[in-house]
Amino acid sequence: MEKLLEQKQGASLRKYILKEDRILVETRSLRNNEKYEVMLDSIGLDKLYKAESTIIGKIFFFFCLAIPIAMTIALLAGSQIETGTLIVNYVLWFGLAIAGYFKKSKDDIYLTGGPRALVFYRIIPNEKEVLDFIDEVIAASKKYLKEKYAKVNVDISQELFFSRLNLLKDKNIITESEYQEIKNEYELKKLI
């Protein structure tokens, strides 16, 4: 089982490869390049959405456009504006408007609840594909945790085994009936 999600936004890249027991993560930007592994038992199972408000950016964009337009209207109305001043203001304000237009606001989904959090762009390539991948990561993590900690092992203490089972039950990785079944199997094997 190997699943891939690749997300590109401008010069930034986020690449995730889901394996049986880990996720390989690669991030690239103009400033940083990182590659690392995250074990499935160290990620959380909770989704957190974080997005920046775009209203301030839109207001800034229109403000940057309004100043050169106002200067042009003033020039046409007969105001004495020097050509150098006009050119500098056009370049400055249109440059800021273009920079504001192309600056991407944050719109991310975080997979939290564990020691390590994973961050995904919400709509790249599209929201459904991202959510499907996150759901696959959660399902793989639950399966890995269940196989690792719900496996009956009489060589470990009863307290440790039951505390692991309780943790799995509290995180909804196993049901109450599975909990009772595994607990009974452990107690039976412990007697033998």
**Using an 8 Å Cβ cutoff, are 14 and 111 in contact?**
no
Say yes or no to pLDDT of 161 above 80.
yes
Identity at 72, one-letter amino acid code: T
Query: 25 forms bridges with which residues in the sheet?
Result: 16, 36
Say yes or no to pLDDT of 12 above 90.
no
Say yes or no to pLDDT of 89 above 70.
yes
113 and 29, same structural domain? yes
What are the tens digits of pLDDT across the range 95-104? 888 887 766 6
Domain of 59, in residue numbers:
55-102
Domains in the chain, number: 3
83 and 59, same structural domain? yes
If we measure between CA atoms, which residue out of 19, 37, 1, 5 comes closest to residue 133?
5
d(CA 43, CA 34): 18
179 falls in which pLDDT band (50, 70, 90)?
Answer: confident
36 and 19, same structural domain? yes
158 and 137, same structural domain? no
| Whole-structure pTM value | 0.72
112 and 26, same structural domain? yes
181 and 98, same structural domain? no
133 and 116, same structural domain? yes
Q: What is the pLDDT of residue 22?
A: 93
d(CA 89, CA 91): 5
Strand 22-28, strand 33-39: pairing:
antiparallel
53 falls in which pLDDT band (50, 70, 90)?
Answer: low
**Using an 8 Å Cβ cutoff, are 109 and 48 in contact?**
yes
Domain CATH for 35: 2.30.29
Tell me whether residue 151 is exposed, middle or buried, using C-beta atoms within 10 angstroms of its C-beta: 0 to 12, 13 to 18, 19 or more: exposed
44 and 1, same structural domain? yes
95 and 2, same structural domain? no
d(CA 73, CA 153): 81
155 and 140, same structural domain? no
98 and 62, same structural domain? yes
Say yes or no to pLDDT of 15 above 80.
yes
Averaged pLDDT for residues 40-69: 83
63 and 45, same structural domain? no
